């Protein structure tokens, strides 16, 4: 399989971590892929017309796009859907937490684009504040009740931990650890796992 991605993308990193935790790392060739607003990657667009990473090309040529779809495929490939919460009493909570963490990551990436990719004279301060407010509101929910993986990682754990890592990487000025100490403690054993240390953004 070929995974078109970049480690600095929270969505690409999530897929890479899931693959590692499922024992699929050796089956995947990571194809470093650059995507930038207003600078189309024509070569990658031939793989994924949306030019969004990650995208996974299977051995038979099927291209799977969107990180949650890729995650489901990888879990199905090994016949283990426990990471998705399937069959667990709190399945719908896990899936909702996964969606919330992923949505907050989308807001954080959009905020990054607003400050980094858009010319300063065209930046919209109110829009940026709204995006970061969504991130903060999501962290407040998780601060009160972090995901409880029950000893094994779920997609909610992974997606939230990746979001927090992205905030460390791109928004260190927010100092989220000071505002959300319970989340900071929750993150410590997860970010120490080999799948996380090997994919830390840089």
Q: Are strands 55-57 and 2-5 parallel, antiparallel or unpaired?
A: antiparallel
Output the pTM of the full model: 0.94
- Average the pLDDT over each of 67-76, 83-92, 164-173, 179-188 and give the range with the smallest value: 83-92
202 to 14, 17, 191: CA distances (angstroms): 15, 16, 15
Q: Which domains does the chain have, with CATH numbers?
A: 2-81 (3.40.30.10), 84-197 (1.20.1050.10)
How does pLDDT run across 21-55, given as a tens digit for each residue? 999 999 999 999 988 888 889 999 999 999 999 99
DSSP for 118-173 reads S-GGG--HHHHHHHHHHHHHHHHHHHHS----TTS--HHHHHHHHHHHHHHHH-GG
pLDDT at residue 110, rounded to an integer: 94
| pLDDT given at position 149 | 60
């Amino acid at each position: 399989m070929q995974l078109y991605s970049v480690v600095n993308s929270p969505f690409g990193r999530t897929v890479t971590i899931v693959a590692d935790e499922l024992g699929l790392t050796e089956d995947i060739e990571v194809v470093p892929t650059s995507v930038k607003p207003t600078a189309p990657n024509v070569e990658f667009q031939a793989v994924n017309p949306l030019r969004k990473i990650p995208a996974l090309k299977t051995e038979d040529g099927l291209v799977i796009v969107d990180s949650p779809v890729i995650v489901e495929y990888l879990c199905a490939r090994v016949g283990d859907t426990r990471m998705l919460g399937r069959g667990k009493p709190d399945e719908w909570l896990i899936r909702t937490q996964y969606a919330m963490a992923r949505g907050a990551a989308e807001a954080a990436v959009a905020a990054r684009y607003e400050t980094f990719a858009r010319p300063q004279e065209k930046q919209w301060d109110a829009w940026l504040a709204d995006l970061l407010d969504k991130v903060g509101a999501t962290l407040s929910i998780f601060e009160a009740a972090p995901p409880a993986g029950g000893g094994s990682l779920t997609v909610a754990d992974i997606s939230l931990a990746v979001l927090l890592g992205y905030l460390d990487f791109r928004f260190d000025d927010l100092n989220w650890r000071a505002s959300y100490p319970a989340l900071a403690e929750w993150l410590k054993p997860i970010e120490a796992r080999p799948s996380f240390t090997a994919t830390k953004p840089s």
